[in-house]
Structures are given as C-alpha cells and as structure tokens.
Structure 1
Amino acid sequence: MRPGDSAEPGAAGPGSAGLSRLDRFLPVWIGAAMLAGLAAGRAVPGLGSALEAVKVDGISLPIALGLLVMMYPVLAKVRYDRLDAVTGDRRLLAASLVANWVVGPAVMFALAWIFLPDLPEYRTGLIIVGLARCIAMVIIWNDLACGDREAAAVLVALNSLFQVVAFAGLGWFYLEVLPGWLGLDQARLDVSAWDIARSVLVFLGVPLAAGYLSRRLGERARGRAWYEGTFLPRIGPVALYGLLFTIVVLFALQGEAITSKPLDVARIALPLLAYFAVMWAGAFALGRVSGLGYPRTATLAFTAAGNNFELAIAVAIATFGAASGQALAGVVGPLIEVPVLVGLVYVSLMLRRRLTAEES
C-alpha cells in the first residue's frame, strides 16, 4: 500500500489511521530533516565542501544517491504493461505539454521580473529553474497524492525528451531574445543538449531502468501477486527515507548561505511560492476542465508544478559558478518546493475526497 492509499476508495490520505508512522507524520519528518540539515551545515565546519567534493553530473554525490534511492521504489511500482493506456490519452499529453513547455517557463519569467527587477542574478537563476521541468521528486509527490503512477512515468519521460530538445533553445529565448524585445536586461545561457541529456540519463534513466527490470524479473520469477503483495511493501518506505536524506543534504550544503542571507532567500522564495501555487492550481483546473479523472488530474498538477532542480542547479553552477546568485536561486528552488508541494499533497487529497463524494 502506498502513502495515501487505503483499502476503501476515497479513504483519507496521509494522516489516516491505517498508515505507518512515517507516512502519518511526513510533514514532521520533513521539517525535522530541514532543521537537521541547516544545523549540520552551520555546526560542522567544512561539511558543505566535503559533500560537494565528489559530484555526479555537477550534483553532489550524496544528493545524487538520495535522489536515485528516492525514485527507484516508486518506479518499481509502475505497471509498465499499462503504459499504452496513458500514451493513448491525447487530452492528458496535450495538457501536460502546454502546461510544462508553454505556460510554465512564461509564468516563471513573468514572476522573476515582477519580484526581482533589481536582482538580475537571482532573476536569471529563477528563470533557469522555470525551464527545468520535472523528472525526479514529482514522482514522490504524485504517489503521495494518489495520482496515476503510469501517467506520471509517461509524463516524466515526455518531459525528459523535451528537456533534451528544448531547454537550450528556451534558455536563449527567455534570457536573450524576449528581454531584448521588451527592452529589459539580457543574460546568456551556454548549455549543450548533451549536458542536459546526461542529467536526464543519470536522474531518470538509472532508476527507471532499475524499476522496470525489478518488475519484469520479479514477476517472471515469483508472479505479480508476490511482487505487489510482498516485494513492493518491503521497498516502499525506502523512497521516503531517500527523500528525507536528500532534504538533509540539500539544507546542509546551503545552510550557511541560507542563514547568512535570509533577506535574499526571502525575496527568492516569494516568486517561487507564487509559481508553485499558480502552476499547481492552474494545471489541476485544466485537468478537471479536460474531463480527466482525479488520478490523472493530480498527476498533471504535480508534473506541471514540479521542477528538475538537479538540472537547474547543475546548469547554474556550470554557467555562472558555484558562488553565483544564479546558483543560490537554483538551490533555494527545492528548499521552497519541498514544503509547498507537501502542503499541496494534502490539498490534493482533500479535493480527492470531495470529488469522490460528488461522483458517488
């Protein structure tokens, strides 16, 4: 049973009595992980440098490992033989493409300029975050909100393909061309398609391949009943352990920067808060108007609101440097995204109960 699932349709999500202690108190554990990371980053000299010493595709190795551990159990739960039912849903695919690659970057561009007109480094960093569409943590949020796992796998894969093809071009448009047309300050983004493809391969390809092989080999050896009734419940909690570990490391890496520049962090946080709220609510409304059921509507909302912060941070560091304002803005992204999207999981589950009651 995944977080938010229940034996009865429409039952409560996280917080229901039948869930494990880890699931019921998820916001508490996430808050504790944030505080632990901040405290460790401030209290242990050189911890940030040690965590950054070994990197995978521009991302600290501990973060990379945490992300891979976090994503594998959820991708192992996907029923890959049902993906054709998702790929045939043209309404879902079209809505996702519009929300992610037309609306999302434009909304972040507008919010960055509205909230940070006098801070070009932070503004550029936020625009980069807006261009890096979801491929990682969104899988966790979707699962917690009882979204459609198969749909999430397809939309994440679709976003990954578009990321490789469109990221550099959209960066050029939103940082150079559009500001020039509007008479605004221009920035420059130099990133190759191979850099983006490598990030996608590491942070999606590896756990996706592991999840697919686990299901295929597990079902072949022991059958689907054993795989879903015995194996998946055993590995399920690992995803949340990976999430908590990743949060601790993220906050430890940037603990000093966050606590030494609280006003800067607050200014970066405001457009991010607006972005996550606008994108999630808009995509959820679009799903309902398009006639999608709750599971796929929730999946559309979370995939539209989430971002590929691994790629955004890697691009900002590679282009502008680890100590740049662009890199700080990239790092603040997931620090705001985590608590906001956890909150939206609960909003989504509340709407799920209401929609289920209306349809019954």
Structure 2
Amino acid sequence: MSDLSQETGRAPRDGASPEDAAVIQRLSVLDRFLPVWIIAAMALGLLLGRGVDGLDDALSKVEVGSVSLPIAIGLLVMMYPVLAKVRYDELGHVTGDRKLLVSSIVLNWLIGPALMFALAWLLLPELPEYRTGLIIVGLARCIAMVLIWNDLACGDGEAAAILVALNAVFQIIAFAGLGYFYLELLPGWLDLDETGLDVSVWGIAKSVLIFLGIPLLAGFLTRVVGERAKGREWYESRFLPKIGPAALYGLLFTIIILFALQGDTITNQPLDVARIAVPLLAYFALMWTGSFVLGYRLRMTYPRTTALAFTAAGNNFELAIAVAIGVFGVTSGEALAGVVGPLIEVPVLVALVYVALWARRRYYPTDGSRGAIS
C-alpha cells in the first residue's frame, strides 16, 4: 500500500500530545482517503462487470500459478513496495528483547489465527466461503502498512520494522502448514467440517511462494543494492516514496477486477459485505487491546508496547487476497472476504492510533516508561 511521507517524521513525545489533532493530516493523501479509493474501485468494478461481456474468459487466457496474468501482476505490484521498505539487516536485533520477540510470536502465530478462526465460525456459521476467506486473513500476519499506524502513534519504529521483517520471513515457512491446520484438520477434529472443504497444502504454499516469495526477494535485493549504491538515507527518503503508491495502485486494480467478476453475487446479496465486516471489527479490537494490555503488564515501554499492538493487530491483506485467488479462484467468496479486509482495517487502525495516544497520556505519563494505573 502507499507509503507515509518520509518528511513527516515523528511527533514530539513531550507535552500534552499535540499530535492527537493532526493524525489524519500526517497521512499522505493516498493513505488518508484509502477507504474512499477502495469504495470507488468496488463501484468501478461493478460497472465493468455489468458492461463488459466475456471478461472472465479474457482474464483466464494466460495464467500464473492458476491466477490470470493481469491479476497476478496486480498482486505482485501491491506486495513489492511494502516489502522493499523492510529493514532486513535489523532482523537479528529483535532477539535482544526476548519479551518483545516471544510476545510477538505468540500473538501473531498462536493467538491471532486462533481468534480469527473462532470469530469466523461463530459469526459466519452458514457462510463457508466468507468464513474460509477470513481464516486466511487471520493467517496472513502484519506487513509494512502497520508501520504507518505505529509511526502515527509514536511507537518504536525500529522494533516494528524488525517484527514486520520477522513475520514476512516466517510466513513463507509457516503459512501453508497453518492454512492446512485451520482449514482442514481443526474443523474435522472439532466436528465442524460440514462443507467438505478440501484444502491443498501445495496450493497454499505455491501461492505464498509466488505472491510473497517473489516480491520478498525483489524487495530484499532492491534494498541491498539501493543502499550500497546510494546509501540508506537516499533509499528511504527518495526511492521508497516514489515506489510506495504503486502498492495502492496494485490493490485498487485487483479490487476492480474482483468486483467486476463478482458483480452478480454482490448485487444479489448486498448485506454480505456487512456480514464479513463484523468479525473483522471484533478481531481488530480484541487483538489490539489484548496486545497493548499484554505489553503494559510485561512492563514494556510505551513505544515497544505500541509496536507490539499494531504489528499483532495488522494483517497482510495483500497476501490473503493472493492466496484466496490462487487457491479458490478470483470469483470466490474467499477472495471477496479478503478484499473487504483493507476497507475495514484502515479506519479502524486509524481510530486505534487515537486510542494509543490516549493510553500514553493515561498510563505512561512521563518519558515512555510504564506509569502506575490510577
């Protein structure tokens, strides 16, 4: 997705938090109106779906990993800029803070997927495609978009970047296995598997390798080559802002195509988007609040607690959409559930920025160290 302007910097940490009134203004124009762009892309997609005959056949002429070439390009374009932003050379530094490392792993890879699984089955028991799509969203852990929310909330930027890099690498290793566990094995063990869902571990792994592995390698090589040639300051202040908007363009292009192909389903069942939104809202609220409370109870500083909370609550919707399309198809309910994700995530996490800044004044009244609850 689009990148926060490098010139904004951090708001001052002293005083009565004047940044509270300027959170939205500190977002770039693209990020500030992201829900508007997503809604516009949905509307345009619906119009194309009604006006262009044979679109499905045209898109399926050439495929990459069972995904049509135009959509595959859109997915790769939206993944690459956020992965080019990650500071991979700092990945090893997180081991110096064992509390942060262990807490992040537990929240991201144990609590998060389990919570989304429970919410999806509880709130969408009769909608198996949307339920499966949300479970895939729960497995796709945070990516560089959360660095924006963490920065706005004055969290620890280095810690957040390291956790994002850790999650990006870990997803290549663990996503397919966890997908098979939550989509195939666990429903059977709990006697919930009423739909006969047959999930291919290789199908999930192939989508992850293509749509996360390729842009991850490209992002890593871009950073290494760019920093060696021009230095980190040039790379982060000049190069990243130029490629950042491409992620949003890729996302919007993918949304247009998805809604063009799903127009009949959406117009015939207009409440489906609202049904998908409910578990997402519950998920963001529970994950962020639980993570923030955990960091506070573990006596982490405010910046570290905030980084932990946003990296645990955020999800990699780009990867979720790619996996859903690659495994279940572009017209599937699973893909639609992934597309609804960023529409809900952006306004909710912006609201949580304000909550974080309030919590800093309430529970961290001095220099970012833990204060006493009064």
TM-score bracket, normalised by the shorter chain, equals 0.7 to 0.9
Structure 1 Cα separation of the partners of residues 353 and 215 of structure 2: 27
Q: Are the equivalent residues in 2 in contact too, given 1:168–1:192 (CA < 8 A)?
A: yes
Q: CA RMSD in A?
A: 3.3
- Corresponding residue of 1:159: 171
The amino acid of 1:73's aligned partner reads P
- Corresponding residue of 1:204: 212
Structure 1 Cα separation of the partners of residues 74 and 96 of structure 2: 33
Aligned pair partner of 1:336 in 322, 328, 340: 340
- Corresponding residue of 1:77: 85
Structure 1 Cα separation of the partners of residues 145 and 274 of structure 2: 24
Aligned pair partner of 1:7 in 9, 20, 33: 9
Q: Are the equivalent residues in 2 in contact too, given 1:71–1:139 (CA < 8 A)?
A: no
Q: Deviations over 1:297-353 (max 9, x none)?
A: 211221499972322343345xxxx77xxx32x123123212110112312322343
Q: Deviations over 1:179-215 (max 9, x none)?
A: 1xxxx55344433433222111111111111111111
Structure 1 Cα separation of the partners of residues 180 and 31 of structure 2: 39
- Corresponding residue of 2:324: 312
Q: Deviations over 1:250-270 (max 9, x none)?
A: 222222211122245554554
Structure 2 Cα separation of the partners of residues 32 and 217 of structure 1: 37
Relative to 1, partners in 2 of residues 1:277 and 1:309: Cα closer, same or farther, differing over 3 Å? farther
Relative to 1, partners in 2 of residues 1:221 and 1:104: Cα closer, same or farther, differing over 3 Å? closer
Q: SS in structure 1 opposite 2:167? A: helix
Structure 2 Cα separation of the partners of residues 86 and 301 of structure 1: 19
Q: Deviations over 1:204-236 (max 9, x none)?
A: 111111111111111212222322232222222
Structure 2 Cα separation of the partners of residues 176 and 209 of structure 1: 36
The amino acid of 2:261's aligned partner reads L
Could you state the TM-score of these two structures normalised by the residue count of structure 1?
Answer: 0.80
Structure 1 Cα separation of the partners of residues 326 and 199 of structure 2: 10
Which stretch of the first structure deviates more once superposed, 303-312 or 32-41? 303-312
Structure 1 Cα separation of the partners of residues 27 and 96 of structure 2: 34
Aligned pair partner of 1:345 in 337, 344, 349: 349
> Identity rate of aligned residues, in percent?
44
Which stretch of the first structure deviates more once superposed, 200-209 or 223-232? 223-232
Q: Are the equivalent residues in 2 in contact too, given 1:96–1:304 (CA < 8 A)?
A: no
How many residues align structurally? Answer: 343
Q: Deviations over 1:128-153 (max 9, x none)?
A: 641564548x4253133136233212
Could you state the TM-score of these two structures normalised by the residue count of structure 2?
Answer: 0.78
Aligned pair partner of 1:130 in 135, 148, 151: 135
Which stretch of the first structure deviates more once superposed, 37-46 or 139-148? 139-148
The amino acid of 2:355's aligned partner reads L
Structure 2 Cα separation of the partners of residues 285 and 61 of structure 1: 44
- Corresponding residue of 2:154: none
Structure 1 Cα separation of the partners of residues 79 and 183 of structure 2: 27
Unpaired stretches in structure 2, ≥5 consecutive residues? 13-18, 152-159, 368-374
Structure 1 Cα separation of the partners of residues 293 and 255 of structure 2: 30
2:183 equivalent to 1:171: yes
Relative to 1, partners in 2 of residues 1:163 and 1:43: Cα closer, same or farther, differing over 3 Å? same
Q: Deviations over 1:105-160 (max 9, x none)?
A: 4434433443344x3xx236514641564548x42531331362332121232233
2:50 equivalent to 1:42: yes
Structure 1 Cα separation of the partners of residues 109 and 345 of structure 2: 20
Q: Are the equivalent residues in 2 in contact too, given 1:132–1:163 (CA < 8 A)?
A: no
- Corresponding residue of 1:213: 221
The amino acid of 1:162's aligned partner reads A
Q: Are the equivalent residues in 2 in contact too, given 1:57–1:314 (CA < 8 A)?
A: yes
Unpaired stretches in structure 1, ≥5 consecutive residues? none
Q: Are the equivalent residues in 1 in contact too, given 2:38–2:255 (CA < 8 A)?
A: yes
